[in-house]
Structure 1
Amino acid sequence: MKETNKGYWWLPGDEDSKCNGELDTSSRYPVLSLNGVGSDNIARRVPPFVMHGLLLNGLKVTMLECHTNGGSQFLHTGMGELNIESSCVIVGDSHYDGGENVYSGVKLSLSLLSEWTHLTAIKIDHQEGKQIIHLEPIEAIKFNLSNGIKGELGFTIDEKFGTYGKESFSVSEDTYLEFSFESKKNITELEEFGRKIQTFLMFCTRKPIKIEKMTPIIEYKKRKIGNSERLVPIADTVYAYFIENDEKKIEYRNQLIWFEDIKDKFGESLERWLDLNESIRPALDLLFSVKRATHMYLENEFLVLCQALESLHRRTMGRKAFDEAKFDTMLVDMIATVPDEHKEWWNGKLKNLNSPTLRDRLQEMVGSFQEVWAGYKGVDVFAQRISATRNYYTHFGDKTKHVYSLEEMMLVVGKLEALIEMHVLKELGFSTKDIVDICNKNFMWKEVIER
């Protein structure tokens, strides 16, 4: 699909009110610019909504999760353009008539993937004082995941800017991930799968990653043929936009997982990440909300990371102050002494007493990485001050001497982020020695842990 496309556009079920417009997919989000009769009806639509379109080249288009930009001005003047932004544009039959579409594969293009893998087909030899440049195609890395999923880390070489063999030529390279599914997935399931791959790369690089393009490999649609329904193949392209941050280069010494360290077990590492997503998804979402944020107050970063740490501890360590059976007996005995009209209220208050405090969780999690945190003294004081600071910003009580100042909080946020990342690495199967090695290579970890 070209970056800019002209056609006719309308709301589902309102094709008679279609209007002229032009779709631009070259921006961070796809933008549809509308003008003409019918646009005012679209401007009044409450977001998010769906738009249908028919390009002049005959391709059908569906825009999901649409919202208007500048619609109020359009309504007042009735002139100019109405711009509509969307998080996902599907070119083809998918979603077009409301049918259920299923896909047996997907190809993902992600920002910074090529930089992270650092693989290139361009080879330079030095012969008799000259540099000889030649191309050696890279073999795709293939792997198998559970549930019948097969994956491939592949590479493309584009020589369209020159001719190989001449004294000068231009070559562009790209790296992609491609998956095939034994159990077919619909568009929502594909987006969720893509999000998990995206966050894996974000965790490895400690950088915001954007899914630049998501293309189903083999697509099917349920069609009624005679008295039965059959799956008929369709050709679709999906332009999915999941993250706002601009692409930034990877800082080599700020990564958590280097591709060369897991190249031979890439599929196994990805499998572990997909499994881990199922069990600690809330904690990961909180962690990535901080990493993705372009503007977030330091106090908010601190509170979100405290919440992520508690969630991660609860889902992976789950320690209780007392044995469950013993605590239940204690609770029954305590509630028995309370008047009947207050039993329900006290039961709600007391049943949470068996859960460890934030301070307890911090001490246990830091204790799991004594070899890494060996240079840092005063873990008890650290846990006490974290707890006091969290309580101050959550409940806005008196500011005690234990509450961190804003000048101190930058370092504290770095420590919390590092502690969460270490624990996730441990859940991914990294040994203590592996984590120590990462600490020695990662300048941010080393900086915050040893201070």
Structure 2
Amino acid sequence: MAHPMRHESVYEEINVEGEWWFPERPDCIFRGRLYGKESTEFYLEIRGEIEFDFGEGQNRYAVICGASDEGENYTLLRCFWVSMQPTTSHSEGKAKYFVHIVIAGHHFDSEEEIELYEVSCGVNGLEQWHGETAFFSDYDWQSHQVTINYKRPTPTKIIEMAEFQGYVEYEYKLPESRRNQCHSEISHSARIRMDFNYAPLRLSKSESADDLGCFEWLRNIVDFFSFATQNTTYAFNIRGRYLPEGASALETIRIFRIADIPVDGKAFSDHKMLIQWPHIQARPTSHFSKWLQLTVNSGMPIWLYLGSLRDQAFSDQKFIELAQSLEGIHRFLNPKASVVSSDHKHKVDDILLGCPELHREWLNQKLAYSHEPSLRRRLNEMCDEHRQQLEWYLGNWKSVRRMVSIVVENRNNYAHCLQEQMVGFSSELRQEAIQFMQFLFCLVILKEIGFCHDEIDSQIRKNWRFGREAKLNSRNT
């Protein structure tokens, strides 16, 4: 038998005692304990209070180095003081620090010093999404025996960009041989590997530069799988390869950070997936390249949409997120619509000139964004572009226009806290509006990442969730 490797790293608890110090003061050593896991948080608990010995008055530290009693080296990044537990003797108190990133395997003096030539990680559901066959069976009819062979899938290139190349690769662990063994398992897992082409990449984006770091690229790649599977996905078991000073061979470090994982952490089913490997197999690098360009340049609308996929989010929150994401993605894709034309500016100036001076400033503020298209206009333009798919989904064009009105009116009511005007906005109607906005957003993004009209039509009609919703909508029209 064979099972994908579990996502142990996000649930793997680090709990080590050791010595800790600042790179600037390696002689000032504290005893303490590092504990936590990616699915919750990491903390460093120090005996005594650091501020009295170094950095008095500060409550945040960029880097803290350490070594466990077992000999493992650690670098802790972005540490924040959160509490102090006093005792009868002040020197024996315990200071507690939140740790944003834990690096196991090496000491770094600063975050800027961390430059990686390769980063790899697992993504929950990646094996399921990729669907690569790794096990082959052969039945011998004479001996009535079944032989099962494991063939490790070859790496598949999915990203080709100037900054890096990306692959889906598989790693496996053979079973241990035991006497009188009745069965065994091969643990295998798919991973994303990023190879940086010409120069190593920093761990995170620099505040003084526009270039993205490893974490930012990784987040955008993982977001693709969230959109493709229509579920919350996350990276786990992150490994980076760096070149130590004076060395000729790369070495590996493990990187832990707070993982954004679902509460239940359960696996998801295929029927919700919007994009699977067969859909992009012919040109994966093209689709991924367009996705990365879109997420890097637009950012917030994508994240708002992905936030609406969380089961534990309130429906009011989802409604606002989706309305804002649709408005934002339309603004990004149609930047000229938000540019003030000379004719519009001339008309506003004429209006202000004829306005009494007492009210001129007030009117000027009211007209400051009068050139911006309304939410209704933005939604109508997106709906017009995908009319055929929306008519299939809602039953007819009249229902599409009705749903646009429902979204516009209630978004304004939410924005201005007009609860008394939302009496008719039932939970059922709100859920219908949420599903409509999610469907429309998917249509827009599928087109932007390189799918043609026929491909989009095929994907949404074969999608179990959208097909089920379309049947329910047609009954209600």
TM-score of the aligned structures, taking structure 1 as reference length: 0.84
Paired with 1:96 and 1:337, the residues of 2 have a C-alpha distance of 64
Paired with 2:420 and 2:43, the residues of 1 have a C-alpha distance of 51
- Name the counterpart of 1:424: 445
- Name the counterpart of 2:169: 154
- Name the counterpart of 1:328: 345
Paired with 1:11 and 1:291, the residues of 2 have a C-alpha distance of 41
- Name the counterpart of 1:107: 120
SS at match of 1:8: strand
Paired with 1:151 and 1:421, the residues of 2 have a C-alpha distance of 24
Q: Does residue 414 in structure 1 map to residue 435 in structure 2?
A: yes
Q: Does residue 196 in structure 1 map to residue 207 in structure 2?
A: no
Deviation at 1:374, TM superposition (A): 1.4
Decide whether aligned partners of structure 1 residues 41 and 126 sit closer, same or farther in structure 2, where only a CA change above 3 A counts. farther
- Name the counterpart of 1:138: 153
Paired with 2:132 and 2:220, the residues of 1 have a C-alpha distance of 23
Equivalent pair of 2:105/2:253 in contact (CA under 8 Å): yes
Equivalent pair of 1:415/1:449 in contact (CA under 8 Å): no
Paired with 1:19 and 1:51, the residues of 2 have a C-alpha distance of 11
Paired with 1:122 and 1:84, the residues of 2 have a C-alpha distance of 47
Equivalent pair of 2:44/2:98 in contact (CA under 8 Å): no
> Which of 9, 18, 40 is the matching residue for 1:7?
18
Paired with 2:42 and 2:340, the residues of 1 have a C-alpha distance of 57
Paired with 2:176 and 2:38, the residues of 1 have a C-alpha distance of 24
Equivalent pair of 1:214/1:240 in contact (CA under 8 Å): no
- Name the counterpart of 1:183: 199
- Return 140-149 or 295-304, whichever deviates more: 140-149
Deviation at 1:366, TM superposition (A): 1.8
Deviation at 1:236, TM superposition (A): 3.0
Paired with 2:251 and 2:103, the residues of 1 have a C-alpha distance of 12
> Which of 304, 315, 322 is the matching residue for 1:286?
304
- Name the counterpart of 2:384: 367
- Return 318-327 or 204-213, whichever deviates more: 318-327
Paired with 1:214 and 1:96, the residues of 2 have a C-alpha distance of 21
- Name the counterpart of 1:52: 65
Equivalent pair of 1:92/1:234 in contact (CA under 8 Å): no
Paired with 1:347 and 1:309, the residues of 2 have a C-alpha distance of 28
Q: Does residue 19 in structure 1 map to residue 30 in structure 2?
A: yes
Decide whether aligned partners of structure 1 residues 374 and 209 sit closer, same or farther in structure 2, where only a CA change above 3 A counts. same
- Name the counterpart of 1:118: 131
Q: Does residue 444 in structure 1 map to residue 459 in structure 2?
A: no
Amino acid in the other structure paired with 1:216: G
- Name the counterpart of 2:323: 306
What does the per-residue CA deviation read over 1:154-193, in whole Å, with 9 as the maximum and x for residues that have no partner? 1112104348xx9743201111111221232111111111
Decide whether aligned partners of structure 1 residues 76 and 254 sit closer, same or farther in structure 2, where only a CA change above 3 A counts. farther
Q: Does residue 390 in structure 1 map to residue 411 in structure 2?
A: yes
Decide whether aligned partners of structure 1 residues 318 and 75 sit closer, same or farther in structure 2, where only a CA change above 3 A counts. same
Paired with 1:169 and 1:408, the residues of 2 have a C-alpha distance of 52
**Gap regions ≥5 residues in structure 2:** 1-8, 205-212
> Which of 374, 394, 400 is the matching residue for 1:357?
374
Amino acid in the other structure paired with 1:187: L
Paired with 2:276 and 2:106, the residues of 1 have a C-alpha distance of 40
- Return 17-26 or 237-246, whichever deviates more: 17-26
- Name the counterpart of 2:6: none
Paired with 2:98 and 2:340, the residues of 1 have a C-alpha distance of 54
Paired with 1:263 and 1:248, the residues of 2 have a C-alpha distance of 27
Paired with 2:342 and 2:252, the residues of 1 have a C-alpha distance of 58
RMSD, aligned α-carbons:
3.6
Deviation at 1:428, TM superposition (A): 0.7
